[in-house]
Amino acid sequence: MKRLPWVAFIVVAVSLAQDAKQGTNSFFDDSQAKEYAVRSILVEGEVENPGTVDLTQLPLRSVPIKDISMQAGKPSFQGAFYYSGYSLYDILNGRRVKKAAENTFSPLLDMYVVVENSQGEKAVFSWGEIYYVRDNHSILIARNVQAINPSKLQSVQWPPPGEPRLICSGDLMNARHLGNPTRIVVRSFRGTFATQKPANIYAPEFTIVMAGKSINVGEMSPAMEKRKYRHAGYGHGTGFKGIEEVTGVLLKDVLDAKIKTSADDLRQGIAVISAKDGYRGVFSLSELLNRNDNREFLLLDRKGIQADGRYVLFAAPDFFVDRNVKAIEKIEIVRVQ
């Protein structure tokens, strides 16, 4: 009986030794971390206080990714990784937007961000996918990375990138992953839009404009997949909108059926979705066409409902409803230079 405390001590000691060997419960920290020397980045464009941002003063955010590239027209798996770094949300948070004087559209829905690297390559993100979505820290400039190697295949060891990277954990293909990012430029889209609400907002069809070509879109094909989402609407300005159930087709299916896009389009493309009254939002092509989280943008058909103007965009990834564009009249697709 007197030996029981010693037995208990031995059991605890063995347990602690096993815990130390096994590490934590996380599946993301069982490999050596690779550190990158990133300290600052330049922010320019339509902001009140352009200049260099000291990244070391920002919190570290972490995301896992499955790194997939397109090679010879086919997906090629490059590895699974756990990145920690500085999010665009935090980097831009202290740089308040100051739109160009000629842009009189007050919401920030027409803003987008261009990240550039030392080789002049660019990746484009909408302001909405940084500040309107539920997951604000999915776009990072990496400070360190750990490979997520399969535990039962000791021969498989994913090599981490050799240089700092901009990564986007929400993308299916890694079209917007960018080595050695050095500069961020904040812009707003310039175009011709209505400045007053027309007497009749209803648009029975809309136009897709890309590379100088226009395609009219009327009825949706009955073969298109439909999805139903139940959500609690909340506007940035006016708050709770109620609980609603919406059904629509995937906007990416509509676009894929009408246009052809490339890896460069996914890296640098934006879609400006606008209504007859001039209300609009800028979306990156990747957030519309290249998602890996199944939070798809829906196109709702409110045929015959004059107030909604027939076609309505439902932004399922967003916390706020502000990017739900009603009375869609045009989707303009542009590759940012």
For 151, half-sphere exposure in the C-beta direction (CA atoms, 13 angstrom radius) is: 6
Measured CA distances, 127 to 66, 86, 92, 96, 140 (Å): 24, 17, 10, 12, 15
- What DSSP line would sit under 260-298, residue for residue? ---HHHHHHEEEEEEETTS-EEEEEHHHHHSBSSS--EE
Tell me, yes or no, if the pTM score tops 0.75.
Answer: yes
Length of the chain in residues, anyone? 337
| pLDDT tens, per residue, the chain with 337 residues | 444 444 343 334 433 333 434 568 888 877 889 999 999 999 999 999 999 999 999 999 999 999 999 998 899 999 999 999 999 999 999 999 999 989 999 999 999 999 999 999 999 999 999 999 999 999 999 999 999 999 899 899 999 999 999 999 999 999 999 999 999 999 999 888 988 888 888 899 999 999 999 999 999 988 999 999 999 999 999 999 999 999 999 999 999 999 999 999 999 999 999 999 999 999 999 999 999 998 999 999 988 787 778 999 999 999 999 999 999 999 999 999 8
Query: Which of 270, 254, 267 is closest to 334 using CA atoms?
Result: 270
Beta-carbon contacts of 76 under 8 Å, excluding residues fewer than 6 positions away, are: 68, 69, 70
**Which token pair is 291?**
């998602």
**Which domains does the chain carry?**
26-188 (3.90.420.10), 206-335 (3.90.420.10)
Provide the 8-state DSSP code for 171: B
Distance CA 315, CA 140 (A): 22
Beta-carbon contacts of 240 under 8 Å, excluding residues fewer than 6 positions away, are: 232, 233, 234
